[in-house]
Structure 1
Amino acid sequence: MKTHFIAIGGSAMHNLAIALKDKGYQVTGSDDAIFEPSKSRLEKKGILPQEMGWFPEKITSDIDAVILGMHAHQDNPELARAKELGLKIYSYPEFLYEQSKNKTRVVIAGSHGKTTITSMILHVLNFHQKDVDFMVGAQLEGFDCMVKLTQDNDFMVLEGDEYLSSPIDLRSKFLLYQPNIALMSGIAWDHINVFKTFDDYIEQFRKFVASITAGGVLVYNEEDPEVVKVVENAENYFRKIPYKTPEYEINNGKVYLKTEMGDVPLSVFGAHNLLNLEGARHICQQLGIMDEDFYEAIMSFKGASKRLEKVEREDKGILYKDFAHAPSKVKAAVKAFAEQFKKDKKYGFLELHTYSSLNPAFLEQYDHAMDGLEEAIVFYSEDALKIKRMEAISPEFIKEKFRNENLRVFTNAEDLHTYWNTLDKTDGVYLMMSSGNFGGLDLTK
C-alpha cells in the first residue's frame, strides 16, 4: 500500500509513518519544518523528506492513502492536488480506525490522565508479553514507537484525544474510533480556542459515550461529577464499570498501594496517578489480566514521558518535569508534589504556553492552582502573545486569577533564567510544568 503524509514531522504523524513503514507499506511525506526527535527517527527509517516544503508533484494517482496532519492548512498545495486527483484523504484518527476496524478497540479518553492510563495498560501488557496494536501520546520505556500496527493482533489500545481530527475534519479525534471498550478519566474544560463554552466541550464526551459499540464496556471515574452526569444520561446500551482512588500510604517517600494481596510498592506518586492506576487495572481485567498479574507488572511502571518525570541533574538536585498546562493537570501535579515532599521546600514553575492558558477568559480556571508550594512561579512570554496576536496580560492580572499574592510572575525568558541561576537546586525540590521549554531553560544544570 502506498501512503503519503502531509505534515509528516508531527509527534503523532511521524510515529504513524514509522509504524506503516515497519508494516511494509510504501511511505512518503512532506513538511515545512521537522524537529528532533522526529527528524532523526524518520531519517533512520529512510522516510525523511529530502527537502522541506510542500510539493504537489509528490501527489500522484497511484497513492492509496493521503494522511493529513493538523499542522497543514486547508489551502495546502499538496492537499489541493490530492483533492484534484480524487485520492482518499484520511485524518490521523480516521486512518487508525481503518487499520483497527476488524479488531477490538480499547479507547482511553478524558481531559487528563489518558496518556498515563494508556501507558500503564501497555506497560502491563508488555510485561506479560501480551501483544496488542496501540497508539499512545508519549514515548514509553520498552517501546520503540508510539504506534504499532499489525495484521494479526486482536486488540488495539488507543489514546483518545478530544481535539480536532484534521484541518478539513473538525470532529474530535476520539469520535472516529467507535470503541468496544472505553475509559473516561475526567472532564475539565480545555482547548478553549476550539470549544468556546464548557457545554460545547462536554458535548464531545457525550458523543464519545454514544459512539461506544452496542454491548460494549465503559470504565469511568465515579469521583468526577461531570463524567458521572455524562454516563448517567447516556441512552445507548453498554456495561458501566465505575472506579475510584484506591487506598494507599506513603512510607519514607515510597508509595504503597493497599490491596487484598498486601501492600504493593509503586514507582509513581500522587493521588491522581493512583486513580489512573485503578482505571488501568479495570481495563486490563477486560483484556484478561488478573489483578495479581496487574500488580506484579505495575510495580515497575515509572511513569509516562513528561508526566511527573524525574530529571537527572548534575548537582543531584531533586527536580521533576510535567507536561501539565491545563488547570486540572496543574492542580493534580501540584497536589501530588506537595503530598510526596511534605517536609521539603517546594518550588513550582508553570509556563503558560498554549492558546487556552493565555486566554484572559480562561485564566479563571487556574484559581489556587499553585497552592501548596512555598515558591510559586509563573512564566509567559509577552513576545509569544504578540506572535499569537493575543491581547497583553499583566502580571497583576495573573496573580489575581491564580488567587496567589506571593506568586512570582516573569514575562521574558532572560529574567526567568537570571532568577533560576540564583537558586541552589540542592536546597528544596522543584516541579517544572510546561508543554514548552521555559524559553530554552536547561533543567539538567
Structure 2
Amino acid sequence: MLQDILQYYIQKSDCSSIDFCYTFYLPTDWDYKIREELFQPLFLKAGLIHGNDGQGRLMFMSELDLTFEFIQMQQRINMKHGKRYIICTVDFQSTFSVDLKMISAQYADFAVKTRTFSPQLLKQVHFEIPYNGLKEQRSSLISCLEKQCESTLSSEFIDTMFEIFSQKFKSFDLSSSYPFQTVLSFRPFQHLSSQQLKLYGLNRKEISAIQSITSEDILTHLSCFAENVLRNKMDELLGGTSSTKTKSMVIICTTQAWGNPELLLLLTLVEKCSEAYSEETTKSYQLRRDGTVNRLSMSDRHVRFASIQLFKSQIKKFNMRRNPVILPNNATTEQPKSSSKSTIFINIDISLTQIKTIFTYLNKHRQVEQKQNIECNMEPLNCFITQSDSYQRPMLHIPNRKDFWRLS
C-alpha cells in the first residue's frame, strides 16, 4: 500500500523516490528499540528507504511529541526550562479515557520559532470513566427526577424531560470555551412553566424542585466517581515529587471527545475535579491563566500541522549533522544514490591576496548548478601569517579555532 501511495505522489510531483521522507507516529510508552527492530526493517524491505539513509528519511514521533508541540504553538503556558508540567489528555474511542503525564521542559535539540522546548516524560497514569452516552444520561435523569418527586412518573413525562435535556446540550456551541461552572450549574428545565408541569400530575413543591435541577445534579453519581478516581490518580502521579516544581496543568481534548455534545458534562467534570484537587493540595499546579482554564481542543488538523513543524525541525537537525558528498567539477544531472547525504560542494581557492569561491549544488529539479565568488566574510590567507622572531620564517597562525560553517 505504501508503495502504491509513493508511486502516486512520484507521478503527481514529478520527482524521485529518494525525495520522500516518512514520519511514523507511535504511542508515548513505546521505546526506541521497538522503532529500530520492528518498523525500520519494514520500510527497508519495502524499498522505501535504504540502509545508508540513517535517520533522515524515516522519523519516529510519539503522541507526546505532537501534543507538546501543539501546546507550544498555542502559547497558553509560559514554559521555563527544567520546570514540570502536567498534560491531561481526554479522549473517547469506545470509552471515556483520561491520560495524565508529568513532563519536564528541556531545551530542544534544534529550536525553531514555535518550538523552544522538548518534553521529557517523567511519569504517567491512565484511568477510564464508564460512560454509555445517551443511555447513561437517561438513567441518571430518571434517578434524579425520582429523587425530587414523590409522585409516580409516567414514561411520557420521562421521555419529554429527556428530550428537553438532550436538546439543551446539543445547543451548546462546542467551539466556545465554557467555564465548567457555567455548564455544571446550567438548569435545563427552568424555562418550563408550572402549567406545563402540572399536566403530568406534579405538585408545586415537585415543580419547583424540577425547575432548579442542574446538570451536575443529573450526573451526581458520575461526579463522585470521577472525583475519587482522579484524586487517587493525581496522588499516584505527584507522589514522591516536589509540587513546587510543577508549574501548570493543561487539559487537551481530542476531536472525538470535544466534538461530542454527549461528553460535554464529563469534560467539565474533569476540569472541576482537577481544580478542586489543586485547591486541596495548596495549589500543587495552576489550571488557569488569566481566569480561564487551560483547555485546548486538538483536532486532526492541529495534529497534522504540529507534525509538519516537528518534521521541519528534525530535518534541519539531521541536515546539520550529516556528512556532505563532494560533487566533481564535471558533475552531470545524474541523481545521487542516496538522498540522505548532502548534494552540495563548496570549493574555496585561497591565495595570499584573494579568495575565489565556487558553490556547486543540485537544485529542486536535481540539476547541477554553480555560483561563483560568493561573499563568505573570510579574510585572505596573508592575514593569518605572522613572522616568527626566533626562526625568521612565516608561520600560519589561527588564534581561535572555530567551526566557520556547517553544510545543510
- How would you bin the TM-score normalised by the shorter chain? under 0.3
The structure with higher relative contact order (CA 8 Å, sep 6+) is 2
Output the TM-score relative to the length of structure 2.
Answer: 0.24
The structure with more helix, counted as a fraction of residues: 2
